[in-house]
Amino acid sequence: MCLVAEHYQDESQRSRIMGIVLGAVALGVLLGYPYGGFAYDFLGKMAPFLGISLFAILNIALQLVFLNMKPPNYEAQSTNEGSSWKQLMSDQLVMMTAGAIWLSSSAMAILEPCLPLWLMSHIKPQKWELGTVFIPDSVGYLIGTNCFGGIAYRYGRWRVAIAALILLAISACTLPMAKSMKGLIIPHAGLGLGIGVVDAALVPLLATLVDTKHRADYATVYAIQQTSVSLAYAFGPMFGGELVRVMGFPWLMVSIGIVNLLYSPLLVFLSNTEKQEVQTVMGAHKVSYKATESRKYNRFVASDESD
């Protein structure tokens, strides 16, 4: 994300491109399920992993060709250091944005291990149906990230993020009401759509906050964003598994919806970012990730030689 934030300085274009990049996650899930099943059935158990390894090597090769891998000029950075973790984590707006991303991601992180067990005990679907249960949320996430980046910038990222959290809360509360696999499609798709719209609205906003209030080094702020997602998927299944035994799956999902609903009004404080002019802090050093970088050198001629 720091590569996208550094390369695309226009806010509207940055929101759109970041949405496409985020949508690649959902696209990987959508294509990964059928690819893994097809490769396993027809080519053997090693085929899916060999294919992924091949694509990973190809991706690394493309990065080596098109990205500038030269180390940054540390002498230039010595006087213009980027924002530190401590500075960004003491920024209430940055942490509020990261908290919304963490909370929305936690809903899916808790749902993934608990939903199949609940389905097998209540709806009793066929085995092939269990493999397709998470397709609606992947489609919803793909639509949310690809289609709502520009919309969020146009109508206000904080407004769109609040609406997305409300949609997520409603979907989480209504999901346990499903009586069949078809009944899961709408709330599950709404859950994925809400998470996707939250990401499409708030992930570009982190770059805006860094541009406006801190030095324009995006790596640290997106490390915080990725840490919030990682924490959601690290602790979500663990706490979800314990809570589902205590309160049951329906009440667990209702609780998730209520927490997201209560958190959504806090995003009103992000409205102040729209009143500030987006500009880089004077004297800030930007780490260049551009593919090509050309410099012109002029030969210095001593005065003695010129005579």
String of b and e for 56-71 (b: at least 16 CB within 10 Å)?
A: eeeeeeeeeeeeeeee
Alpha helices in 44-156 (DSSP H): 47-66, 74-79, 85-89, 92-122, 127-131, 135-147, 149-155
Task: Name, in order, each residue with C-beta under 8 angstroms of 237's C-beta and a sequence gap of 6 or more.
Answer: 109, 110, 112, 113
Token readout for 52 is 């992924």
Entry pTM: 0.80
Work out the widest C-alpha separation in the chain, in whole angstroms.
Answer: 95
- Do the Cβ atoms of 189 and 137 come closer than 8 Å? yes
Short-list 240, 288, 266, CA closest to 118: 240
The pLDDT score that the predictor gives to residue 26 is 77
| Residue 294 predicted with pLDDT over 70 | no
d(CA 117, CA 106): 18
- Do the Cβ atoms of 156 and 274 come closer than 8 Å? yes
Terminal Cα distance for the chain, rounded? 55
The pLDDT score that the predictor gives to residue 216 is 63
Task: Name, in order, each residue with C-beta under 8 angstroms of 2's C-beta and a sequence gap of 6 or more.
Answer: 218, 219, 221, 222, 289
The pLDDT score that the predictor gives to residue 75 is 46
Q: What is the pLDDT of residues 208-245, one digit of tens each?
A: 888 887 776 788 888 899 999 999 999 999 999 899 99
